Structure 1
Amino acid sequence: MRYVITLSTIPSRFSSLGPTLRRLLRQSVKPEKVILYIPYAYRRFPDWDGVLPDVPEGVEIHRTDEDYGPATKILPAIKEFRGQDIDILFCDDDMVYRRTWAAGFLRERRHKPHACLAVCGHDVLGSPWDDRVDKSLRRPVRTWRVTDLENYARMGVYWVKTRVLKQPTTHIGRRVHIFGGYRDIFEGHAGVMVRASFFSEDAFEIPDIMWSVDDCWLSGQAMKNGHPVWVVPRQIEPSSFALYKTDALHEAVLDGADRDQADRHTEAYFQETYGLWK
């Protein structure tokens, strides 16, 4: 199966990209390309000097005229690969992706050819499941934390690294779902596999207040076109590098809205405009 890996980044992270990029290049199933999309100008960083990051051999830097915010990791790829028989696996710039990460998506794609595949996802708030029109859809089953011995071991290693060795704190991922199922919104940090055909041109017309919440915006855009979010079972959520705290978008207030407010606004838009998630 053909696939590419795409991501974007911001200037304050340029010097720390190497570890993530090298892991993407070392996937057990090699991608045709690893593409880093960088706009000519950044909305959040107007004083950027234009100097590009050094990247490992094998990573391609593609420039974009438009800064789509966090959606820059995928929207330019939709244009670039539209009409081609190829999957696009997009991800973040601050995560520790295992060698078998991409292979898990490719295996699941054989069974779910029309879904957005994700390791992590969630449902919108304030929409009781028993009252929803799509309540018959199969839902994923989460792994219980109290019985997750693998996670206890990972957290033990984390404790030694942070408390004893004084290494920076990070986000520690775990095997989130034991059985797959449908969610409302994918979470891009753990990776999402889509096809360009899942999206129409209005995906590029992001209202200002929704610009910062790409997961919600893109999930809604795909869902309204008939491509729901399917959570892949038994996949380990990637842990993060300490880089994830650098100019973190989830902590930013943009256009007068924080992350939660922007998410609620975007969810309401798709509920009212397209009848999704209700």
Structure 2
Amino acid sequence: MRVVALTSIPPRLPHLRPTLASILGQRPRPDRVLLCLPRRYRRFPGPVTPPTLPAGVELLWSDEDLGPATKALAPARALAGTEAVLVYCDDDWIYGPGWLAALTEGPETAVRAGAGFSAEALRRRPDRPPDGETDVAMGFAGVAIRPGMLPPLAEDIPPEAWAVDDVWLSGVFAAEGLPILLRPAARAACTARVLPGPELQRSCVGGLTRAEANFAAAAAVHRRFGVWPPR
């Protein structure tokens, strides 16, 4: 069973249909598509009103706002103990034909990512298995995992990593000794969209810019798990 999951924020909820349609249009079609939303947002006060979802998309509530990592952690919890392949991705991209097939190609014992980068970009030394091809799996191009690759400890996110899901989740993969394999054909099928609301790449969250948060999250990963030592 192949499950695709994503999350979003209130300003973007009315604008998700093109992204969802691109996921539903994959061939072969995913068995399930999950929109994962917290019942309360940290950054947006008030009740959460989910959008009307197209046929084939399910709403998955999370009792806690786990930041952008909600798209991976909430479905990993919901699918625990199953044989599902979980693909998490972002809400501000269009996923063209062949994206899902390319992303899920290869061994299910590895993390498969459409795009990634080395820990050296975070001023850290790579700490990957011999068959690993990168250190940080980037969610925008899609990441394919088995639910058990994100154990419960992954939900204990340090404050400085809350907004930096790619670094935090990849740190968990490194701690679990999981190789990350790149699937460039999946990245080639991705086209960016411009959606309303704050963009995390340019936002200041918790007093940190995105670049500062990346470095702080990598340091938190090292303190927590011992991987990615300083260069």
The structure with the larger Rg is 1
Instruction: Compute the TM-score of the two structures, normalised by the length of structure 1.
Output: 0.76
Which position in structure 2 is the counterpart of 1:119?
Answer: 114
Which position in structure 2 is the counterpart of 1:16?
Answer: 15
Equivalent position SS for 2:216: helix
For the Cα contact (< 8 Å) 2:22–2:95, is it kept in 1?
yes
* 1:26 correspondence with 2:25: yes
Which position in structure 1 is the counterpart of 2:77?
Answer: 79
Which position in structure 2 is the counterpart of 1:147?
Answer: none
* Deviation of the 1:23 alpha carbon: 0.9
* Deviation of the 1:228 alpha carbon: 2.4
State how 1:261-276 maps to structure 2 within 5 Å.
261-276=212-227
Task: Give 2:157's match in structure 1, choosing from 206, 210, 216.
Answer: 206
Equivalent position SS for 1:37: strand
* Deviation of the 1:63 alpha carbon: 1.4
* Deviation of the 1:51 alpha carbon: 2.1
Distance in 2, Cα, partners of 1:113 & 1:274: 23
Amino acid in structure 2 at the alignment position of 1:268: A
Q: Would the alpha carbon gap of residues 27 and 234 (structure 1) be closer, same or farther in structure 2, given more than 3 Å must change?
A: closer
Distance in 1, Cα, partners of 2:215 & 2:82: 34
Equivalent position SS for 2:101: helix
* 1:253 correspondence with 2:201: no
* Deviation of the 1:182 alpha carbon: 1.0
* 1:89 correspondence with 2:84: no
Distance in 1, Cα, partners of 2:180 & 2:140: 15
* Deviation of the 1:277 alpha carbon: 2.8
Amino acid in structure 2 at the alignment position of 1:121: G
Which position in structure 1 is the counterpart of 2:178?
Answer: 227
Amino acid in structure 1 at the alignment position of 2:21: R
Which position in structure 2 is the counterpart of 1:39?
Answer: 38
CA RMSD after TM alignment: 1.9
Q: Would the alpha carbon gap of residues 133 and 12 (structure 1) be closer, same or farther in structure 2, given more than 3 Å must change?
A: closer
Equivalent position SS for 1:182: coil
For the Cα contact (< 8 Å) 2:161–2:220, is it kept in 1?
no
Distance in 2, Cα, partners of 1:192 & 1:106: 9
Count of matched residue positions in the alignment of Structure 1 and Structure 2: 226
